[in-house]
Amino acid sequence: MTVRRSVSIANDSSQLSSVRGLVKDLLETSPFDSTWRNKIVVAVDEALANVVEHAYEGDRGEIQILLELDHSRLQVVIRDSGVKFNPGDRLQSEIDIHEHIRKGLKGGLGMFLMQQIMDEVRFTQDAQHCVNELVMVKRLPPPEPQSQSESE
Amino acid sequence: MPDLKLSQETLPEGVCYIEAKGFLDAHTFEEMEQLINSVFRQNCFRLIVKLEELQYISSAGAGVFVGAIGRAKENGGDIVFLKPSPPVKEVFDLLGLSAIFQFASSREEAQGCFS
């Protein structure tokens, strides 16, 4: 069975908490444990916060979030119609946190968290329709082995 | 709407005690940043930040501390986290901050980090 949720929000950081709630509610029905649920909520929040901050360069705009949970994975799609986004070298699998501290850098940590938490993070642009799309996938954990009494 | 609640008091030996409750994210991080900057302006660079009732932190929230600890240390101080909640500690662990910041499980232990 596939469970789908979708919501459209304004590019306003006050909307982030409601999307976190939506993701959390969906994950309640998944086999992810509470630690992973929290981490996945963080990854989605980071991705969305990035779009809220950068996509429309201060203008108003709409952001669409699609969540899809099936037997094998959670897929998160975030779409906006803002400026073309190219993650470039910001999509890093490693960061030098000591350098961040040395230089007093506060940014650049969100992309790293997304990479750390999710199995796939892909950015695409549909230039014809001026749409940026971010797709993140987290594969479900393998099923718990059945206990002896359950298997009998 | 979930929000951030901050309180501040001054302890002996020039230690500033901040308690954060709620949600420290891209919407609320500036409140924490402003509070830490105001503490620094009062020449207080020894910070204990209680995070026991902070339910959520994003990179924007963690970034406030990443941006502040260098200045605290340059001025002979430090930032000590008191009892971070499990989801907050997970984010610190993912970012590698648990190896850089000091953590304490009681106020006395946190104050001891400055003696």
pLDDT of B8-63, one tens digit each? 999 988 999 999 999 999 999 999 999 999 999 999 999 999 999 999 999 999 99
Closest Cα of chain B to A132: distance in Å? Answer: 21
Least Cα separation, residue A89 to chain B (angstroms):
18
In a domain, B111, yes or no: no
Residue B73 lies in a domain: yes
Return d(Cα A5, Cα A26) in angstroms, integer. Answer: 8
In which residue are the tokens 């930040």 written?
Answer: B49
Domains assigned to chain A: 3-143 (3.30.565.10)
Q: With respect to residue B112, please indicate whether it lies within any of the assigned structural domains.
A: no
pTM: 0.91
pLDDT single digits (tens) A48-91: 999 998 888 888 899 999 999 999 999 999 999 988 877 766 66
Helices and strands counted in chain A (H then E) = 5, 5
- Residue B35 included in any domain: yes
How does pLDDT run across B72-83, given as a tens digit for each residue?
999 999 999 999
> How much is the mean pLDDT over chain A?
89
Query: Do the chains contact at A52 and B26, CB–CB below 8 Å?
Result: yes
Give me the number of domains chain B comprises.
Answer: 1
Contact residues, chain A, for B95 at CB < 8 Å: 95, 97, 109, 112-113
Residues from chain A that touch B62, judged by Cβ atoms under 8 A, are: 109
User: Could you tell me if B19 lies within 8 Å of chain A, comparing CB atoms?
Assistant: no
Which of A90, A100, A105 would best serve as a mutation to test chain B binding (most B beta carbons within 10 A)? A100
Rg (CA), chain B: 13
Q: Please state, in angstroms and rounded to a whole number, the distance separating the CA atoms of residues A99 and B5.
A: 30
Inter-chain CB proximity A49 and B70 less than 8 Å:
no
- DSSP for residue A31: S
Give yes or no for a contact between B55 and B85, defined as CB atoms under 8 angstroms apart.
yes
Closest approach of chain B CAs to the CA of A65, in angstroms?
Answer: 18
Q: Which of residues 48-107 of B touch A (CB under 8 A)?
A: 56, 58-60, 62-64, 66-67, 69-71, 86-87, 90-91, 94-97, 100
pLDDT of residue A11: 92
Q: Does residue B94 fall inside a structural domain?
A: yes
Could you list the residue range(s) of the whole structural domain that residue B100 is in?
Answer: 4-106
Q: Do A101 and B66 touch (CB under 8 A)?
A: yes
CATH number, domain of B88, equals 3.30.750.24
pLDDT of residue A35: 95
Is residue B113 one of the residues assigned to a domain?
A: no
User: What pLDDT was estimated at residue A128?
Assistant: 74
ipTM: 0.93
- Are A106 and B23 inside 8 Å of each other by CB? no
> Do the Cβ atoms of B27 and A17 come within 8 Å?
yes
